[in-house]
């Protein structure tokens, strides 16, 4: 889609007047003197999320242990109920999504079940640009099966250090690959991979495929069930605004419900019999089977309010604005910042990018620090990327215009030279 934009502040304000989601921003806690462009790392708190969190706190205060069955939304079934709320965001059936644990723990749980090395088919295929935690986990899973990662981990390299070619990934789906694990969106460049194509190609070759969707769920619609994705996992503290370290999610295609999780725990037991306390494990016949331990109620509660907001608005409308506002940001970068050496590192096509723009510059560390002192919350990624996420729910077009104007001023007046080239411990 070719969108037509104009330079100037008045045009940005006009875009905001036409924005069907403009009022949603008022449901978030936003500092008046700050423009928050880091929602792809940690989303802001909404009043909706605060409400459900405080309700659960009050339930704990007044009900104690009786909250497990007598709360407004009984805690015992809370992961399943939240899974039903989140299923529309990823195109899943209600029992295919469960809210549980943390991203990497969920990855371990899923891979331990789905990676079944047998004969020649004993390798895992990954990419060179994935988030490091996924790589650590996969190497650990190989070691648990007495397999040397140097021999049994196949890594597809990126030609440009930013993006991946799906055809090259498919080209390495040989008969020695048992499992493929890929990100939905690359965390640095923001490239959105073709999940449907990759899933279809993997299945043609008898290969199980799963996706890390931390940088897409809540910003990009998915259709996991329709595409036949075997499994997926993601955090909820980025675009889904569940709070720092908020409980993560698991998707398992219903065709795998007969499989028994290898990393079994009591919360993956059939709910009706969970308190029988039998030593014979009976796996739940849904995605809940991959739960291990008791629900983290206070880390899940904000997600209830957030997901209700998402379902009220609709993920398709959120994606529509996300694509338009990132396109507008790239337009301003091209016309206002390219003369200062900035490069856009993410794909430009709508179908190939997620929810953030990767702004590259050799002085990215210092520019990033200067931006923070001017009231912008950006996100630096080594070695030269400033990630800017104009989250559709709480960033306006005028916010984007101001961000680019501030960066231009920082460059024109060489303000960045007042800062150290050494990045902070938390980038």
Helix axes 397-412, 9-18, angle to 10 degrees: 160
Strand partners, 211: 182, 232
- DSSP label at residue 355: S
163 is in an annotated binding site: no
Count of C-beta atoms within a 10 Å radius of residue 183? 23
Query: Is 290 flagged in the annotation as binding?
Result: no
Three-class DSSP category at 363: coil
Q: Determine the Cα–Cα distance for residues 315 and 292; give it in Å rounded to an integer.
A: 29
Identify which of 362, 409, 375 has the alpha carbon closest to the alpha carbon of residue 38.
Answer: 375
Cα distances (Å, whole numbers) of residue 181 to 158, 263, 298:
15, 19, 30
| Ramachandran angles phi, psi of 46, nearest 5° | -100, 160
Q: What are phi and psi of 385, to 5 degrees?
A: -115, 130
Q: In what order do the strands lie in the sheet with 385-388?
A: 343-344, 357-360, 385-388, 379-381
Annotated ligand binding at 117? The verdict is no
Q: For residues 156 and 127, is the Cβ–Cβ distance under 8 A?
A: yes
Flag whether 130 is marked binding.
no
Contact predicate 101/248, CB 8 Å: yes
CA–CA separation, 87 vs 89, rounded Å?
5
Is residue 100 annotated as involved in ligand binding? no
* 113 is annotated as contributing to ligand binding: no
Q: Is 266 annotated as a binding residue?
A: yes
Is residue 38 marked as binding? no
103 labeled part of a ligand binding site:
yes
Question: Does residue 419 have a known ligand-binding role?
Answer: no
The annotated binding site for pyridoxal 5'-phosphate is made up of 103-104, 131-134, 212, 215, 237, 266, 294
The annotated binding site is made up of 103-104, 131-134, 212, 215, 237, 266, 294
């Amino acid at each position: 889609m070719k969108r037509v934009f104009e330079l100037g502040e008045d045009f940005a304000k006009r875009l905001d007047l036409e924005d069907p989601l403009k009022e949603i921003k008022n449901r978030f806690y936003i500092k008046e003197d700050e423009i928050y462009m880091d929602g792809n790392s940690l989303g802001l708190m909404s009043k909706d999320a605060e409400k459900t969190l405080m309700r659960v706190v009050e339930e704990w205060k007044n009900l104690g242990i009786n909250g497990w069955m007598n709360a407004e939304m009984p805690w015992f079934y809370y992961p399943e109920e939240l899974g039903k709320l989140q299923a529309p965001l990823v195109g899943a059936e209600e029992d295919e999504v469960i809210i549980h644990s943390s991203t990497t723990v969920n990855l371990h749980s899923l891979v331990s079940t789905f990676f079944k090395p047998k004969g020649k088919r004993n390798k895992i295929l990954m990419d060179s640009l994935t988030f490091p935690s996924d790589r650590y986990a996969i190497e650990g899973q190989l070691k648990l099966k007495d397999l040397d990662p140097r021999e049994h981990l196949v890594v597809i390299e990126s030609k440009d250090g930013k993006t991946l070619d799906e055809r090259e990934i498919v080209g390495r789906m040989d008969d020695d690959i048992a499992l493929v694990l890929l990100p939905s969106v690359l965390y640095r460049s923001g490239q959105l991979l073709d999940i449907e194509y990759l899933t279809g190609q993997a299945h043609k070759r008898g290969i199980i495929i799963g996706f890390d969707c931390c940088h897409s769920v809540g910003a990009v619609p998915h259709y996991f069930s329709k595409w036949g994705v075997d499994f997926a996992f993601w955090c909820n503290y980025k675009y889904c605004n569940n709070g720092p370290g908020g409980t993560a999610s698991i998707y398992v295609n219903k065709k795998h419900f007969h499989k028994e999780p290898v990393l079994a725990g009591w919360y993956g037991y059939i709910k009706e019999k969970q308190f029988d306390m039998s030593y014979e494990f009976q796996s739940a016949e849904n995605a809940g089977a991959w739960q291990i331990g008791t629900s983290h109620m206070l880390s899940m509660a904000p997600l209830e309010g957030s997901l209700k907001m998402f379902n009220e608005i609709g993920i398709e409308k959120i994606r529509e604005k996300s694509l338009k506002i990132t396109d507008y940001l790239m337009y301003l970068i091209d016309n206002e910042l390219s003369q200062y050496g900035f490069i856009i590192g993410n794909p430009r096509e709508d179908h190939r990018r997620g929810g953030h723009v990767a702004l590259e510059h050799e002085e990215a560390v210092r520019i990033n620090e200067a931006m923070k002192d001017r009231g912008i919350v950006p996100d630096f990624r080594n070695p030269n990327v400033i990630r800017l996420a104009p989250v559709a729910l709480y960033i306006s077009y005028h916010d984007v215009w101001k961000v680019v104007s501030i960066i231009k001023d920082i460059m024109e007046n060489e303000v960045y030279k007042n800062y150290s080239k050494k990045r902070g411990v938390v980038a």
